[in-house]
Structure 1
Amino acid sequence: MEKSNSEIENSENAEDLSNIENIAYIDINGTKMAIELLDSQKYENVEAIPIKSDFFGKKDFITLKKGYEMDLVEIKELENSTVNTVLCKNDSVVPLILIDDDEITGAMQNRIINDTLLIPAQSSINIHVSCTEHGRWHTRGEGEASRTFKPSLYSANHSTRSRKSRASYEERDYQGEVWDSISEFESRSNFKSMTSALNDSYENLKDKQNDYLSKFHIEDGQNGVIFIVNGELKGLELFYNHRIYKEYHEKLCRSYIIEAIVEKKSVDNIDRLELMNLLENISQSEFKSKKSIGLGDNIKFSNDFGSGSGLIWEDELIHMTFFKDFVINEVII
């Protein structure tokens, strides 16, 4: 039996409403995009909402993990080692993408990348990093090889990333923020690393993380994710394309899961329209743009809800993060 005109109209209206509830339009300092929210995935007090953008980046980049495995990328201490700068060498024929807050381990102490960067093909650049292992300043071996880094299984945890993002936007030195955040997380998780290494905190809770991790899978075409913990939006992660996102999916999940494990609360569902409004309000942020030390421009932005950053190159968004401000005892940090 054919549908009546009114039934068809109601069906179309319902579809339009569904689209409105699942697509957010965001303008990042002039770079416009639509983001589709896919079906959410939930476990315990964590909700992950896979997202797809209306662009699919076709430029070819090599990731840190792939570059390291192929012996095309090397990150090592400077000749005269310093905490917040290391040397990155890219021998690949394509740009190397380094992701903000990705951890590198070894050398004199573990570090995280300070900003998302594109390192030009066949070039060497001094890059800015933050220490995530306050209690060590020596190599764990002999010779030049002991001064090099390898990719970590982890990135910085959400609270550290949020605090670093806010301090970076406000142009404050944030090495102290990173150390304080790692120390406070150890207190919250009743754990103490011998060298105050964030990596050790992850290893300490790895089995519990794995229980969560198995519940969050990658959707076809997914190039980003929104995380909600204890009923609160915590962060948005958006990557250039599906291929790059896949390499970082597990790290991203762990960075939120580890917080959810130690701050477990009763869960209230967040309203989808409220969530869409929060996302679209990103466009109303105050933006700052600065030429990157690599390719493109680094973007920092802030609004009443939180802060974020990104990298734009040749009018394409390469990577973007946005975090709810981290709050302790009703004080924004």
Structure 2
Amino acid sequence: MSAKRVRSKLAKEESRESAVAETRQGGSGAATQRNLFAGLCIGKPLHHHNLTVFPLSWAHPHDAPYILLGTAIEAGQAVVEEVNEAGSVPSLAVTNKADRPLLVPEGEILIGAKQNRVLNVTVLVAAGVKFIVPVSCVEAGRWRYRSRHFESMFCAPPSLRNKKMKAVQRNRAEGGRAESDQGEVWDEVQVCLNKVAARSETASLTDGFLASEKRLAEYRQQFSLPEEAAGILVAKETHVIGMDLFGSPTTLKAMWNRLRDAYFFDALGDNRKHRAASRKSAQAFLDRVAASVRPRPAALGLGDELDIAGDHLVGGALIYAGHVCHVAAFGDTV
């Protein structure tokens, strides 16, 4: 057989093996991994004091094939509770009563039961399924029931999510579960409380938000997203601190009130006016994220889970049915 025919045969075999591998991985999910932000547009920046928010929108948005956790809890279509009567700090049980998948987003704070927790990774729970999700405690001084079930009311600040996600990635890389360094999370909660001079009998992160209500309200008045926005990329001063992107504007709209306060919280403490971050810096951050994506062997729930890891960059993404469910990525905070 000639060298030319051998090369042709090998090329065909490689192409066939690639197609089989892509099918095993979910096919369309793998394709989205290669073009994570294909069709994503950066909108006109919004700026106040030290914070710049870039709305992110899809050129061709799609309807979300899932229901969001907070929406489902309010509608009685999802229940979040301790895994058993005794409870387990790094785990919670989520029951999806809806007839479609349930999106449980990383960074969301769950209030109630024996202590408040924050979700460690984004999980898509199948319809009619009870699923154990990994969490971290954000209320060190309580381990007793206040209620049987949890509510969704806040999101954790990017500074805390950054450290939490780095620890989760380290643990998983070493063959462990999607658990954080709980001591580090508690330390960061205390940093947040001290930053806003919040008093909390149980060292609860949510008390920091409640103590900052007036200052957060000032930021809220300055930021109103366009209807087509499906995500945000946020810079403190001129340094991008993070982004959250969903597959549908409907999902962002449902998350917006608690998500915005999380980013606003990290901006508190500096009332000086800074120039707005540039669109160039926003695009550079997206490019870094896209270049730092790597697949995980298996997602905790439905879909394809991706890690985002690079110099001064950490994050994760979940892809389902060929579309982004959630991308969260963070740079080192200022």
TM-score by length of 2: 0.83
Q: Quote the Cα distance in structure 1 between the aligned partners of 2:122 and 2:312.
A: 22
* Residue 96 of structure 2 corresponds to residue 90 of structure 1: yes
Q: How does 1:1-333 map to 2 (within 5 A)?
A: 28-29=33-34, 31=36, 33-79=38-84, 80-140=86-146, 146-152=147-153, 154-171=154-171, 173-285=180-292, 287-326=294-333
Q: Report how far residue 30 of structure 1 moved.
A: 5.2
CA shift in 2, pair 1:109/1:280, >3 Å? same
| Residues 316 and 328 in structure 2, CA contact (< 8 A), matched pair in contact too | yes
**1:62: Cα distance to partner?**
1.4
1:310: Cα distance to partner?
Answer: 0.8
Q: CA distance change for structure 1 residues 273 and 31 in 2, over 3 Å: closer, same or farther?
A: closer
**C-alpha contact 2:49 2:272 (8 A) present in aligned 1:** no
Q: Tell me the distance in 2 between the aligned counterparts of 1:290 and 1:205.
A: 41
Distance in structure 2 (CA, Å) of the matches to 1:224 and 1:65: 17
Whole-Å separation in 2 of the counterparts to 1:313 and 1:271:
32
* CA distance 1:58–1:208, shift in 2 (3 Å): same
Contact 2:50 2:270 in 1 (8 A): no
Change (3 A) 1:55 1:264: same
Aligned residue type for 2:81: K
The share of aligned pairs that are identical, in percent, is 24
Separation in 1 of the partners of 2:239 and 2:205?
A: 24
Letter matched to residue 250 of structure 1: N
Aligned to 2:18: none
One-letter amino acid of the counterpart of residue 299, structure 1:
L
Could you list the runs of 5+ residues in structure 2 that have no partner in the other structure?
A: 1-30, 173-179
What CA distance in whole angstroms lies between the structure 2 residues aligned with 1:198 and 1:224? 24
Rounded Cα–Cα distance in structure 2 between residues aligned with 1:290 and 1:134: 33
Deviation by residue 1:208-231 (Cα, 9 ceiling, x = unmatched) = 101111211120211011111122
Q: Once the two structures are superposed, what CA deviation does each residue of 1:279-328 show, in whole Å capped at 9, x if it has no partner? A: 2122221524142221112211112231111111232211101111246x
Q: Which shifted more, 284-293 or 73-82?
A: 284-293
Q: Is the 8 A contact 2:293 2:306 kept in 1?
A: no
Q: Which residue of 2 aligns with 1:16?
A: none
Greater strand share, 1 or 2?
1
Q: Contact conserved, 1:43 with 1:212, CA < 8 A, in 2?
A: yes
SS of the equivalent of 1:275 reads helix
Q: What SS class does the counterpart of residue 295 from structure 1 fall into? A: coil
Pair 1:263–1:175, CA change in 2 (3 A): farther
Offset at 1:191? Answer: 2.4
The 3 A distance-change label for structure 1 pair 230 and 30 is closer
- Superposition deviation, residue 251 in structure 1: 1.5
Q: Which 10-residue stretch deviates more, 104-113 or 65-74?
A: 65-74
Using the size of structure 1 for normalisation, the TM-score is 0.83
CA contact (8 A) 2:196 2:211 kept: no
